[in-house]
Amino acid sequence: MGHYQDMLKANQAPTAELKEHIGETYEGFAQMYKKAFSEGALSPAVKELIAVAIAVSDECDGCIASHTRGAVRHGATEEEFAEMLSVVILMNGGPGTIYGPKAWSAYKEFKERYG
């Protein structure tokens, strides 16, 4: 696999264990996630790009992995992803120049896997 795919896989077991204790919280989050990322005025791909931008801004590697995978699966192009990162860098300055390339690496990794 790759770094970001491995990161998501490594989180599966502890997430499943935690769900045994707070399953209703995860169910509520899943419902909100499904609604937020459904087709609407914005496409799911655009919504995933927004989520990646927030993930990069928050410096959350797991969120970068999850939403980059979603963006790729929903057909976000390399050009769209790069332009989104240019806005992230503008808005975040130096930290954007560190986490932006991390997101770019995740994009390339998931694009290779999912086409």
Provide φ and ψ at 2, rounded to 5°. -140, 175
pLDDT tens, residue by residue, 44-64: 999 999 999 999 999 999 999
3-state secondary structure of 1: coil
- State the chain's mean pLDDT as an integer: 97
Give Rg (Cα) of the chain: 14
Residue 59 CA to chain centroid, in angstroms?
11
Among all chains, which residue has been given the structure tokens 């169910």? 27
Mean pLDDT of 88-113: 97
pLDDT, residue 91, reads 97
pLDDT tens, residue by residue, 9-32: 999 999 999 999 999 999 999 999
C-alpha to C-alpha distance for 4 and 16, rounded to whole angstroms: 19
pLDDT, residue 53, reads 98
